Structure 1
């Protein structure tokens, strides 16, 4: 059977995690979802969900690829907006987070043995849900870590999307100031058998539940609070810091994006939406990467922090304007030019990449933190790579 309905007797009993959607008063479930389970080729159970729009002829299917430490419930608002646009939706929890299976006994650890394991996850969704069951054409909407995985899949030409939209993809980091030293130290710890340990300074507490003040994710206190409530409600599904193995894999994975020949080989029509005040992922590096895409474009939304889809309405409206100009698009591999995007209200500064906050362009996250000083190497690696701030933890990776 391609996939099965999730039941309480079959869902990850060793983690003692509920199989139902975890709702809170401010985060209702949109539409009429179908909660399903798929198993990857290496035996990991993934929690996935599908939605069909009310329209008789869907415009296609959007597959939402989350960032690190995220979970399905966090994207209920986005799912509802996609349904309103006439799209079917598929999304899922990556292994090691949300209510998907784990490769370590402690479900709070954000662990993956190797970054290539995430390919197994996306292939399982592709083969067991997206291709056989969801209406075509298929599109990708990815964030941060999910964006990096999707771009790599496009490079390797096995991704089933007609077009890809990704927000603040994990191309490079501006939050870690000494990347080479961090990478060496992480590799050293993993080689000496410490891959399953939390990164130094990291722990079980979900960084999604930290105070709004000083956060690196969004300037919208309402959405931030809603997501914090969802993280509290989902319990171990809102994981804490990553393991040494995860950060070692992430740093090694990102090195490929620095190769000037890499982006040139990506032929999938791609729209990258970067944040002008992103203190997590390096917007200038993202722009350099996008400039080499043969069928891609980057726009920068000034004032946006890392999680554009969780931002203030004025920022999200700009994102959706760009999305609507690009998806579903036409069957030919053409991305919108500056004129097309300008017609939906995006400025010349955004289209030329001049919407980057000067401090962020210097790899300084002070502007996004409300003027606080950026401390080189002072944020824990989880805060750097899982799109969350852990200002209370210090790691010298």
Structure 2
């Protein structure tokens, strides 16, 4: 049975509607949506998670968006969170091809966004989700009027030799090992590793909150990716290095990069953003990879940029939530 899990420091945002969504190729996704907590409705923001993330990790962001007058749609990509797995090991983050994420988003569009949610439809995409969103914008199938992409996966700083790593995972994939963990990979979620040397956030309170959420969802917070996922990630990033593609994006796009990102390449993000014709890129100094889980000193300029970019007028006096969370 589908559920949304909570912890004392990370309660489910009130008013949730939880539902299963089936994709064209038969994969069941976990999805949820919320109405805004303001009288004025500015549209709907769909959250596109990064790799190994899950709905529970976005509760604070969901509350932030609802207080700004937005309805919110959140879902788990296939192979992570509480959505269906494609391999026997539920801890292994796996897809065979990144095109499968397009099927996930199409299913969310057909089952949730178009029939249920107020316009305009907008997206807030993180890391891998940012790479998916930018690819969809380039190819013309992304169902959103505006994009905010946070620390998009356009290059990796955590991989010392990316060209060699790309060649190795492609070779292993050709040997039929695509469903196995990457070399030296394990089932341990990156979100549960000790704070002192973490790559995700400089805020110890938010990091601890997310770690507890990851422990609560168990296998939902997947460990390392599969060889096939890694091979596809390298292919996607290599394609997005063609900066002519950035100029082809017609959807207004704001890219927010993390200035001290030890996961994704800020330099690659700046190069891509500089070539966009209907967008801009800003860099938040000192931020690690998960800007939305950073300190208030970093989150506040992020939300200021978000408010200036998104349509409508932010509502500062949002009323308090009125009812407990509901789930289907």
TM-score, normalising length: structure 1: 0.78
Match for 1:97 among 68, 80, 89? 80
Match of 1:213, SS state, is helix
CA distance in 2, matches of 1:280, 1:54: 34
In the alignment, what sits opposite 1:29?
12
Select which of 191, 195, 218 maps to 1:208: 191
Whole-Å separation in 2 of the counterparts to 1:312 and 1:327: 22
Q: Provide the secondary structure at the position in 2 that maps to 1:253.
A: helix
1:86-138 alpha-carbon deviations (Å, 9 max, x no partner): 11000100000000001111111100011111111111111111112100001
Give the whole-Å Cα distance in 2 for the aligned partners of 1:80 and 1:194.
41
> For 1:254-333, what aligned pairs fall within 5 Å after superposition?
254-328=237-311
Partner of 1:225: 208
Deviating 4+ runs (over 2 angstroms): 54-57
RMSD: 1.1
Secondary structure of the residue that 1:185 maps to in structure 2?
A: helix
Please show how residues 47-66 of structure 1 align to structure 2 within 5 Å: 47-66=30-49
Distance 2:231 2:290 in 1: 23
d(CA) in 1 for partners of 2:253, 2:190: 30
Other-structure match for 1:164: 147
Partner of 1:376: none
Larger Rg: 1
Structure 2 unaligned regions, length at least 5: 314-328
Distance 1:53 1:22 in 2: 21
- 1:93, 1:100 within 8 Å by CA — same for their partners in 2? yes
Equivalent residue for 2:23?
40
Deviation at 1:220, TM superposition (A): 0.1
Q: CA deviation at 1:56?
A: 4.3
- Name which of 236, 245, 266 aligns with 1:253: 236
CA contact (8 A) 2:38 2:66 kept: no
In the TM superposition, what are the counterparts of 1:148-187 in structure 2 within 5 Å?
A: 148-187=131-170
Q: Compute the displacement of 1:328 (Å).
A: 1.7
Q: How does 1:122-161 map to 2 (within 5 A)?
A: 122-161=105-144
CA contact (8 A) 1:47 1:93 kept: yes
Distance in structure 2 (CA, Å) of the matches to 1:313 and 1:55: 22
Q: Which has the higher contact order (CA 8 A, sep 6+)?
A: 2
Q: Tell me the number of residue pairs that the alignment of Structure 1 and Structure 2 aligns.
A: 313
CA distance in 1, matches of 2:40, 2:286: 37
